[in-house]
Amino acid sequence: MPKEVRYFTEKDIKSFSAITVFYGTQRIIVHNDAHSLLRQASNVSHELSHGILQHQPDEVFNECGCRNFNQEYEDEANWLAPALLISEEAALHIVQTGMTIDEAVEYYHASKEVINMRINVTGARKRILSR
């Protein structure tokens, strides 16, 4: 196993989540399959968000070897990615049916954090209570 793969999958699995690699007009998502399946879903949906939003590629590293980071792109992808996993309708469904968060995790295969975030940002609890 190459030392880079060993580092990312054995020594510091949190140091790499996913990245979109550009190859001409193609986008290829490379993700860390050492993460839990729920984390992998979040990682891939984040990268898919970059594609949906048509974010253009940046140089991966700057002249000092540090990771380039476009905050605007990341903020946009961080907002869209959870919505790809838990739609507004799904958030309302979770609340309306009285699903527990653990049940919603099993049903939608999304993390507790993503489910709670989407319930909160959609106002699902308040909307269901006001019906």
DSSP one-letter string for 47-92: HHHHHHTTPPP--SB-TTSPBP--HHHHHHHHHHHHHHHS-HHHHH
**Cα-atom radius of gyration of the chain, to the nearest Å?**
17
User: The pTM is what?
Assistant: 0.85
In 10 A of CB 122, how many CB atoms?
A: 20
Please, are residues 84 and 49 in contact by the beta-carbon 8 Å criterion? yes
* pLDDT value of residue 7: 58
* pLDDT value of residue 72: 97
Each of the 131 residues of the chain gets a pLDDT tens digit; together they read 566 566 566 667 777 899 998 888 899 999 988 889 999 999 999 999 999 999 998 887 888 888 888 999 999 999 999 999 999 999 999 999 999 999 999 999 999 999 999 999 999 999 999 98
